[in-house]
């Protein structure tokens, strides 16, 4: 066996164990009994110790030194293994295990604190998770926030993201303000049965390419996608008064899941066999949800599908329905935000978490800082913690550095959508029939099948044929909402 073969065999076993870890987290958020939280934390901590030992195994350094890549994919495998090995070796094993245990416990506490509107109950756990993640950032070296961000978007820096946001914010706010000055469309009003919502959600997931033979749809407090290869699971949530919450969360998570399901099977259980970054991942889910799922063409089909599922929908016609789907309002919930406010939600979280990591903001002051910033950016107060600082799961599970990838994903999606429109002149006709398969097929071929073969920005530039820029996203938003609101 060559050094390359030995290295890949080791990496495959490590990836298989990482998938088991993912299944433990999926179960924790969907089906695990509440009383099992402490034991689950120990299980996750123990498995993290095993994974860390494998990632830092001294033989990996020897294999990397001796390995010769057989082809371009092999060279990419070595690049990713080298990156993961170097990163893992900087983090002490006991710290990696402690982070796994603390975040497992904090996630359960967060869910209960969110339900009970009890920030004080969550703060000690947030403080501990933050302490551990700061310790990890110090071990990794360099700028602390950049060290954490690199885990989700390799090559990106906090300064780059801040500069991007500084360019986007004035244009977003100007468009938002013009829209809010225009007459607002009527929202849907009605009661939409849970079973009918979930039935339509399953149909939507399949239309967008999700393979239920290799996945399943469940309910969770915070929708997410989990897994890879032959086992990729998605979750959604149901509000009988708001069917869009369920339907568009499902389309969004199907975007993540079909990315994982579409990666070249030859890369399965290797470093190449997963999405290359969270920004690229979000580009798929946001494009599925917004440019495709909230388009006028697809909304025409969805209006008829909802009438069939629920009887009266609460909109007079397809045009009124399309306006309701894309209604702009300064709501508090990120996952329910319209396309104009969504990036403003991310900018708020990005600034707050950078301040937390830098030590400029203490956890005890986070709620007040959140509420003040939200009022300044959105013009309305935060009514309760579940609408504010407790709404997202990310900080409870230690995902500091993750939030900006949502907005970066929107930027990537804008680039890809421009190329997609040029490549598929009949796209609107397809979407009007409820058939996004040509679009999802193009994304599968241009982005998804490559897995981790290319660096994130290089992949988007290769697929879109242009340098990454926020311009296509902003032009899309201005055209769409300018027409919708008669600006």
Q: What's the rounded Cα separation, in Å, for the pair 45 and 94?
A: 9
Arithmetic mean of pLDDT, 405-421:
98
Q: How confident is residue 340, by pLDDT bands cut at 50, 70 and 90?
A: very high
Q: Which CATH architecture has domain 158-484?
A: Orthogonal Bundle (1.10)
Instruction: Please indicate whether residue 475 is annotated as part of the active site.
Output: no
Arithmetic mean of pLDDT, 411-433:
98
pLDDT greater than 90 at residue 95: yes
How many CA within 13 A on the CB side of residue 412?
28
Arithmetic mean of pLDDT, 107-121:
96
Arithmetic mean of pLDDT, 393-408:
97
pLDDT of residue 398: 97
**Ranges of each domain in the chain:** 3-141, 158-484
Q: Mean pLDDT score of the chain, rounded to an integer? A: 96
Arithmetic mean of pLDDT, 425-446:
98
**Which position among 29, 48, 136, 253 bears the catalytic label?**
253
CA-angle at 114, arms to 109 and 117, nearest 5°: 115
pLDDT of residue 335: 87
Structural tokens at position 86: 């170097």
Per-residue buried b or exposed e for 152-164, using 16+ beta carbons within 10 Å of the residue's own CB = bbbebebeebeeb
pLDDT digits (tens, 9 = 90+) for 125-175: 999 999 999 999 999 999 999 999 999 999 999 999 999 999 999 999 999
Q: What's the rounded Cα separation, in Å, for the pair 250 and 272?
A: 26
Count CB neighbours of 401 within 10 A.
28
Size (the chain), residues = 487
pLDDT greater than 90 at residue 221: no
Kindly give the residue spans of alpha helices, DSSP state H, lying in 31-157. 37-55, 58-66, 72-90, 93-116, 119-140, 144-149
Counting beta carbons within 10 angstroms of the beta carbon of residue 483, is it exposed (0 to 12), middle (13 to 18) or buried (19 or more)?
exposed
Q: What's the rounded Cα separation, in Å, for the pair 18 and 23?
A: 9
Cα–Cα nearest to 80, from 273, 230, 262, 256: 273
Residues 6+ apart with CB under 8 A from 124: none
Q: How confident is residue 222, by pLDDT bands cut at 50, 70 and 90?
A: confident
* Predicted TM-score (pTM) above 0.75: yes
pLDDT of residue 371: 98
Arithmetic mean of pLDDT, 402-411:
97
Arithmetic mean of pLDDT, 355-375:
98
pLDDT greater than 90 at residue 456: yes
Arithmetic mean of pLDDT, 377-393:
96
Q: What's the rounded Cα separation, in Å, for the pair 375 and 336?
A: 18
Query: 146 near 400, Cβ under 8 Å?
Result: no
Distance of CA 110 to the CA centre of its chain: 19
pLDDT greater than 90 at residue 198: yes
pLDDT greater than 90 at residue 312: no
Counting beta carbons within 10 angstroms of the beta carbon of residue 179, is it exposed (0 to 12), middle (13 to 18) or buried (19 or more)?
buried
Q: How confident is residue 189, by pLDDT bands cut at 50, 70 and 90?
A: confident
């Amino acid at each position: 066996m060559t050094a390359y073969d030995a290295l890949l065999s080791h990496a495959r076993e490590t990836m298989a164990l990482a998938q088991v870890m993912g299944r433990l987290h999926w179960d924790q958020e969907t089906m695990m009994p509440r009383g099992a939280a402490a034991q689950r934390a120990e299980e996750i901590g123990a498995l993290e110790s095993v994974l860390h030992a494998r990632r830092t195994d001294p033989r990996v350094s020897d294999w990397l030194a001796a390995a010769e890549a057989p082809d371009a994919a092999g060279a990419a495998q070595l690049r990713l293994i080298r990156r993961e090995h170097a990163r893992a070796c900087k983090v002490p094993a006991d710290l990696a295990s402690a982070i796994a245990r603390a975040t497992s416990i904090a996630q359960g506490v967060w869910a209960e604190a969110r339900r009970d509107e009890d920030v004080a109950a969550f703060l000690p756990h947030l403080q501990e998770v933050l302490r551990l993640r700061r310790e990890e950032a110090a071990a990794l070296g360099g700028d602390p926030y950049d060290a954490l961000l690199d885990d989700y978007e390799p090559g990106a820096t906090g300064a780059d993201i801040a500069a991007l946001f500084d360019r986007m914010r004035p244009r977003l706010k100007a468009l938002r303000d013009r829209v809010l000055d225009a007459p607002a469309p009527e929202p849907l009003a009605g009661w939409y049965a849970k079973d009918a919502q979930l039935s339509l959600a399953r149909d939507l997931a399949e239309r967008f390419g999700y393979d239920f033979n290799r996945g399943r749809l469940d309910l969770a407090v915070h929708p997410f996608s989990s897994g890879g290869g032959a086992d990729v699971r998605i979750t959604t949530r149901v509000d009988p008064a708001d069917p869009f919450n369920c339907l568009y969360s499902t389309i969004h998570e199907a975007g993540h899941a079909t990315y994982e399901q579409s990666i070249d099977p030859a890369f399965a259980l290797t470093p190449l066999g997963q999405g290359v970054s969270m920004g690229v991942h979000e580009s798929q889910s946001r494009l599925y949800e917004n440019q495709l799922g909230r388009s006028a063409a697809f909304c025409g089909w969805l209006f008829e599908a909802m009438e069939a599922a629920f009887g009266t929908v609460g909109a007079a016609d397809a045009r009124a329905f399309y306006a309701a789907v894309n209604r702009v309002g300064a709501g508090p919930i990120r996952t329910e935000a319209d396309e104009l406010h969504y990036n403003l939600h991310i900018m708020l979280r990005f600034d707050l978490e950078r301040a937390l990591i830098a030590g400029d903001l203490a956890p005890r002051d986070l709620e007040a800082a959140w509420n003040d910033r939200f009022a300044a950016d959105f013009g309305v107060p935060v009514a309760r913690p579940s609408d504010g600082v407790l709404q997202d799961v990310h900080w409870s599970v230690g995902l500091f550095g993750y939030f900006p990838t949502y907005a970066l994903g929107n930027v990537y999606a804008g680039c890809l959508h421009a190329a997609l429109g040029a490549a598929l002149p009949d796209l609107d006709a397809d979407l009007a029939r409820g058939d996004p398969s040509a679009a999802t097929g193009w994304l599968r071929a241009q982005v998804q099948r490559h897995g981790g073969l290319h660096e994130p920005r290089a992949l988007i530039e290769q697929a879109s044929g242009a340098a990454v820029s926020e311009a296509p996203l902003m032009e899309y938003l201005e055209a769409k909402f300018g027409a919708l609101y008669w600006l």
